[in-house]
Structure 1
Amino acid sequence: MIPALAPLFIADFEHYRDVLVLPDDPRVGVPLRTFLGGDYLNDVLTRFGTAYPESDPRGLASIWSKYYFVKLIPPVVAASLILDQRLPLHLDHLQLILDDDCLPVAFKLPDAGQQWTPGPADAFERFDELLEHHLRPFIDALARHVRLSPKVLWSNAGNYFEWLLGVLANAIPHADVSHGHQLLNARHLPNGRRNPLYQPVRYLKIDGQSEPKRQRRVCCIRYRVTALELCDNCPLSKSKPPVKIHPR
């Protein structure tokens, strides 16, 4: 665990205690650039896919990416928004720790980072390293490897980002998560490029229901994986019963 982040890891968030770690963590990690190089990634997805025989590799990669994003995004975004901690997230400097099932369990950071001084001017400055130097190269490499639309993977990441903002707002009502919402509600980045995290989730009013339905804008193509049903927030789902699939 990174000591500066200790205040985050309480109650329901305690299971993230050993997800962001320093180089002295005894677990074996692989540099992320090495992991994404081809053979290593192919081996991981093949071993992960043994639980879902005859599945489309694109669907397997999408489902695997969910485990990656749900490990990375919550502690990183919470550390930034709640503790104002600026973490070193550049893909070239991180190592990925996998469990025996080839699922992501932790990330080795080169150091503990530092607090924002002064604070970031806006969401784009706050999340630039996460967005441009980690998520973008990671998603581009994984999408190329399995010939999958990057939109699917960005949607997976955005789904957890948006979900976390709701969790933080409920758990810490006084917390300022406005930069998180600013990022997700911006159509374009400051450089004019399309924001790949723009509104990944929408809330629909359903007749007869008091609460709006939370629905992803882009399907995670879970239906391409053998024996898995659609997600409860899938945009393709109309009459199918909800199935909760958030990996933990």
Structure 2
Amino acid sequence: MIPRLQPIFQGEWAPWGETLHLAPHWPASAVGLADWLSQPDALPDALRRYALRWGTGTRDLRAVASAWSMDYLWTLLPPVVAGATVLHHCFPVEATQIALSLDDLGSPKGFHITAEGLAMPGSSTVQRYSGLIDGHLRPLFSALHRHTRLAEKVLWSNAARYLGDILDEAQEHLPGPPPTVQADRDQLLGRGGRQPGDGHNDRLMRTPPAPWPTNPMPALPRRAACTEAGQIVPLHSHCCLYYLLPSQAYCGGCPLAPQHRGTVRTTASGA
């Protein structure tokens, strides 16, 4: 595990900190992400192999691509988000800076970097997350859409789901979590403007800071359902299509689940 991550990922959390590897050179089994995405057959081949895991055909790979993206996100995001939000340290995760390892069935199993990145105390959410959002997830999701026609809004909804879960875990379980946990959550998933420290002198600005224009997640609809008991249940912005995979069902937060049909509404709050 990268040494600076060890204080965060201890005990049962340790495996989630061990998916990002730092070494002078990428291992021979890994491939640079930018090069991998540029190869016309690399991602489709991984998805076809991943489909074998589920026993699905390969004619329509949209549900497979969504499931693959969730495995990918859950492998990538914990150490990257912990570094960016908790440590204010940016690992170099743009597609041109990182390599990917896959298992025999095409599932992401680890990421590799050759430099530790930069400590960025006092920096903004935009500064700490633009490499991940704009430099990594955007080209990845574009490629998944191009090869499978899976709507990118589904992929961004998957990313928002996991980002929210990780930031919630940090807020709940870390002793004395930094105040930037909530600030980052608001900026990444809410509708807030730029944070102080991103190059603007806020005291001299006559108008509020503009939202982060290239981050699509704050624009996702916020959905909720009302149960028979009158309880409000937060739902995911978009269905991840998991229910289309063999032997899988709707998750409890699915906006398409039968128990929520007719009660789903768009809300102005929440993430």
Give the TM-score, by structure 2 length. Answer: 0.78
Mapped pair 1:65 → 2:72: no
| Structure 1 residues 73-222: aligned runs within 5 Å | 73-117=77-121, 119-120=122-123, 122-172=124-174, 174-175=176-177, 176=179, 177=181, 178-186=183-191, 190=210, 193=213, 195-198=215-218, 202=223, 204=225, 206-208=227-229, 212-222=232-242
List gaps (5 residues or longer) in structure 1. 241-248
Give the TM-score, by structure 1 length. Answer: 0.85
List gaps (5 residues or longer) in structure 2. 195-209, 261-271
- Structure 1 distance, partners of 2:244, 2:11, is 35
Q: How many residues align?
A: 237
Contact 2:223/2:255, CA 8 A, preserved across alignment: no
Runs of 4+ aligned residues of structure 1 deviating over 4 Å after TM superposition are: 24-27, 187-192, 199-205
CA gap 1:155/1:188 in 2 versus in 1, 3 angstroms: farther
Contact 1:34/1:40, CA 8 A, preserved across alignment: no
**Deviation per CA, 1:201-246, whole angstroms, max 9, x where unpaired?**
6555535377x53310111122332332122211111339xxxxxx
Partner of 2:254: 234
**Deviation per CA, 1:59-102, whole angstroms, max 9, x where unpaired?**
11111000001111122111111111111111011100112332
Contact 1:139/1:153, CA 8 A, preserved across alignment: yes
CA gap 1:173/1:231 in 2 versus in 1, 3 angstroms: same
**Deviation per CA, 1:99-127, whole angstroms, max 9, x where unpaired?**
2332111110121112114x21x322221
Contact 2:100/2:111, CA 8 A, preserved across alignment: yes
Backbone CA RMSD of aligned residues: 2.5
- Structure 1 distance, partners of 2:82, 2:227, is 31
SS at match of 1:8: coil
Partner of 1:32: 33
CA gap 1:101/1:224 in 2 versus in 1, 3 angstroms: same
Contact 1:162/1:201, CA 8 A, preserved across alignment: no
- Structure 2 distance, partners of 1:102, 1:200, is 31
Partner of 2:21: 21
Deviation at 1:54, TM superposition (A): 2.7
- Structure 1 distance, partners of 2:49, 2:105, is 8
Q: What is the aligned-residue identity percentage?
A: 32
Contact 1:54/1:226, CA 8 A, preserved across alignment: no
- Structure 1 distance, partners of 2:29, 2:230, is 48
- Structure 2 distance, partners of 1:87, 1:200, is 30
- Which structure has more relative contact order (CA 8 Å, sep 6+)? It is 1
